[in-house]
Amino acid sequence: RLSLPDAKGSIREIILPKGLDLDRPKRTRTSFTAEQLYRLEMEFQRCQYVVGRERTELARQLNLSETQVKVWFQNRRTKQKKDQGKDSELRSVVSETAATCSVLRLLEQGRLLSPPGLPALLPPCATGALGSALRG
């Protein structure tokens, strides 16, 4: 139960659902052993979704609850999606950098006409003949 003043200043009691019981102590974080993590990772490489008997058996073998196994797999799938997003972003940056280098190389070789204002767009690392020529 929670007592709060309403808009008129009267005190109102709110009964919270059991899931939001503020008096209940917070659950401690599970610390997996190296062996448990190894087995969980091996299972994840084999199959990203473990359900039913497989999950029950894996939990029993690792001396964990089914809920702990289920949540570990959920978190691992989330981590994988996040890592894939980072990999995709990195590939994009590498691709853009390669394209920039190609343009700079063509400019340096005189094969590409320099549009007005290009020196301002050059990265600070532009060195060599092109960088010297553009800086005057």
pLDDT at 37: 97
pLDDT at 115: 58
pLDDT at 58: 97
pLDDT at 34: 96
pLDDT at 19: 66
Distance from C-alpha of 3 to C-alpha of 60, rounded to nearest angstrom: 44
Q: Where do the structural domains in the chain lie, given as residue ranges?
A: 33-75
* Residue 72, token pair as written in the block: 């570990």
Phi then psi for residue 99, to 5 deg, are -65, -40
pLDDT along the chain (136 residues), means of 10: 79 74 76 96 94 96 96 96 81 74 72 56 52 52
Q: Are 16 and 22 in contact (CB under 8 A)?
A: yes
Provide the 3-class DSSP secondary structure of residue 20.
Answer: helix
> How many C-beta atoms surround the C-beta of residue 36 within 10 A?
19
* Residue 43, token pair as written in the block: 């299972």
* Residue 62, token pair as written in the block: 């690792």
Q: 33-75: what fold? A: Arc Repressor Mutant, subunit A (1.10.10)
